[in-house]
Amino acid sequence: MKILVAGATGKTGLRLVKELATRGHDPIALVRESSDTGDLPDGTERRRGDLTDLQDDVCAGCDAVVFAAGSGGHTGADMTDKVDRDGAMRLIDIAAKSGAKRFVMLSSIGTEDPPEDGELAHYLQAKHAADEHLKASGLDYAIVRPVALTDADGNRDIRFGEDVDPKGKAARGDVAFVLANAVESADWLGKTAAMESV
């Protein structure tokens, strides 16, 4: 499959691009002008695009799209809205119009019922809006909601659903593995699941 990855040069997205390539897919890295693409696997197609200003043809020819991007922990509420909410929603709309078959969203624990206030409230509200937009889009979708991320590769021992500890950890390598599964597997169709590394 040709799979567009938003956030392809990020800590999780980079692992996902490599995972998809090893499975025989053709990952397409959505990159900004300023993105550091040096760590992308050789031969990875790069497609220019900025989540704050996406072109209508950004998903052209893609079988699936994965949103693994984020505004980052050091940006303000304005950029969170532009990337995590509005950028994600715009990418969903473009994917639906372009004929992509599946859209996989990297979300977060806590987005199903985001708090009114607190340190992560605005971020979780933005992610909640994007998740709900995806569910209503008509696309085949999967939503993965990991707990707090670590930079570890993980060992693919993963817990899902109601047994997940909200205060647990999820290795980025495990998250990339799950996102790749969510692109490929019919078991993930229409599924939203919390996850943690065990």
Residues marked active site are found at 123
Which stretches of 75-117 are assigned E, i.e. beta strand?
102-106
| Residue 86, both tokens | 């509005």
What does the alpha-carbon distance between residue 108 and residue 126 come to, in Å, rounded to a whole number? 11
Strand partners, 120: none
H/E element, 175 = helix 172-184
Burial of 24 (0-12, 13-18, 19+ CB in 10 A): exposed
H/E element, 170 = strand 169-171
What does the alpha-carbon distance between residue 4 and residue 59 come to, in Å, rounded to a whole number? 7
CB neighbour list of residue 42: distance below 8 Å, 6 or more residues apart: none
Specify whether the CB–CB gap between 40 and 19 falls below 8 A: no
Specify whether the CB–CB gap between 4 and 54 falls below 8 A: no
